[in-house]
Amino acid sequence: MNRMFRHHLFWPLAILAALLLFNLFYSPDFFNIVMRNGHMYGSLIDILNFGAPLVLVAIGMTLVIATKGIDLSVGSIVAIAGALACLTISRGTDQNALSLVLSAVGLTVGLSFFLGAWNGFLVATTGIQPIIATLILMVAGRGIAQLITSGQIITVTSDTYNYIGNGALAALPFSIFIVAAIYLIVSLLTRKTALGLFIESVGCNPQASRLIGIRSRLIIITVYMFCGLCAGIAGLILSSNVASADGNNAGLWYELDAILAVVIGGTSLNGGRFYLTGTVIGALIIQTLTTTIYMIGVPPEITLVVKAFVVLTVCLIQSEVFRKKVVQRWKTRRYPAEREVSRHV
């Protein structure tokens, strides 16, 4: 029992379950899933579908945070990616042509790799602190996105492109498969090879890692590139879903939601140990929360306040200090230094 409480996934899962349960009480058909035209529909499917981009961005963010970094530019990369893809397609003669869509996707993926590499380069070789280094692209990126779209909203009418964000495979939204594939690949790469160990080592003690012979620069550049890639794909999914690119608003505040998802998932902002599954659950918690707020009809002007309140509650529940204060068990009281000791057990 104690083991279960200590497991790093316990609190994220408990919070997700509580949110879902609340929804079930509020609207009993919340868990209903119906088949129509070979598609599954239902609130749960919606959460997975709309949450897919956030999960993706958060996975990339997890690795960056594990190296003691942070990437504030993901929201801007989402916007740039959507803008570039939509621009390429809208210029084509036959917007439905597979080759056109593939080249748009390829171009976008390439650009997001490059943007990630730029971040990684700044962080790893110039010694600029990650929060500042990525702030540059966060600010400039919105401008770049608007430059690409010429300040307009570009709409596309391509069923092929639309498939990425709206299509279905085996009755499930296609975006879920993209996310699942990336999650699987990353999990395998970090846990079945030594990559995860190196990332944790670099995040936990960069100096020691250098003396061990780990190429920490390469690792840092790689994780930022990967984070850029995740954001780029998220941008594709988002723009494909709405069949348009909006340089101003696409992916707005995504970086903050992603960071929050990572933290809820149990990865510390101090770097070191990271938990990919925790991050996925964290992102799903945030998406469920957003869906819930819309569903129960919170007036739009106070949705952000409600969200903030719930997030605060979630963070308090996650905080061991707070839990201990609430529980007030006198005999086994813990002290600051011990809290660190008892984590990750």
Residues of span 92-121 touching another protein by CB under 8 A: none
- 273 in contact with another protein (CB under 8 A): yes
CB of 271 vs another protein, minimal distance in Å? 8
Q: Strands, E, within the chain: which ranges?
A: 34-36, 39-41, 153-155, 168-169, 172-173, 244-246
- 139 in contact with another protein (CB under 8 A): no
- 24 in contact with another protein (CB under 8 A): no
Q: Contacting another protein (CB under 8 A), which of 272, 283, 285, 287?
A: 272
Q: Contacting another protein (CB under 8 A), which of 161, 174, 198, 226?
A: 198
Integer Cα distance of 85 and 234 in angstroms: 12
Pick the piece of the chain touching another protein (CB under 8 A) from 9-17, 160-168, 193-201, 225-233: 193-201
Closer Cβ to another protein, 75 or 272, answer by number:
272
- Residues 88-120 as b/e (b if ≥16 CB within 10 A, e otherwise) read bbbebeebeeeebbeebbeebbebbeebbbbbb
Pick the piece of the chain touching another protein (CB under 8 A) from 26-34, 35-43, 157-165, 198-206: 198-206
Q: Which long-range contacts (CB under 8 A, 24 or more apart) does 320-324 make?
A: none
**303-318 and 276-295 helices cross at what angle (nearest 10)?**
150
Neighbours of 165 (CB within 10 A): 22
Integer Cα distance of 70 and 224 in angstroms: 9
Q: Contacting another protein (CB under 8 A), which of 126, 192, 297, 299?
A: 192
Neighbours of 298 (CB within 10 A): 15
- 339 in contact with another protein (CB under 8 A): no
Q: Contacting another protein (CB under 8 A), which of 28, 127, 297, 336?
A: 336
- 318 in contact with another protein (CB under 8 A): no
Those residues whose C-beta lies under 8 Å from the C-beta of residue 316, and which sit 6 or more positions away, are 322
Closer Cβ to another protein, 213 or 299, answer by number:
213
Q: How many helices (H) and strands (E) does the chain have?
A: 16, 6
Pick the piece of the chain touching another protein (CB under 8 A) from 163-171, 224-232, 251-259, 335-343: 335-343
Integer Cα distance of 314 and 11 in angstroms: 9
CB of 12 vs another protein, minimal distance in Å? 19
Cα dihedral value 166, 168, 174, 177, nearest 10: 160
CB of 21 vs another protein, minimal distance in Å? 32
Q: Contacting another protein (CB under 8 A), which of 91, 210, 323, 325?
A: 210
Total residues contacting another protein (rule CB under 8 A)?
32
Pick the piece of the chain touching another protein (CB under 8 A) from 97-105, 247-255, 295-303, 334-342: 334-342
CB of 267 vs another protein, minimal distance in Å? 11
Nearest CA-CA partner of 29 in 41, 39, 17, 18:
41
Pick the piece of the chain touching another protein (CB under 8 A) from 22-30, 304-312, 321-329, 330-338: 330-338
Integer Cα distance of 100 and 106 in angstroms: 10
Enumerate binding residues for another protein (CB under 8 A).
192-195, 197-198, 200-201, 204-205, 207-215, 272-273, 333-338, 340-342, 344-345
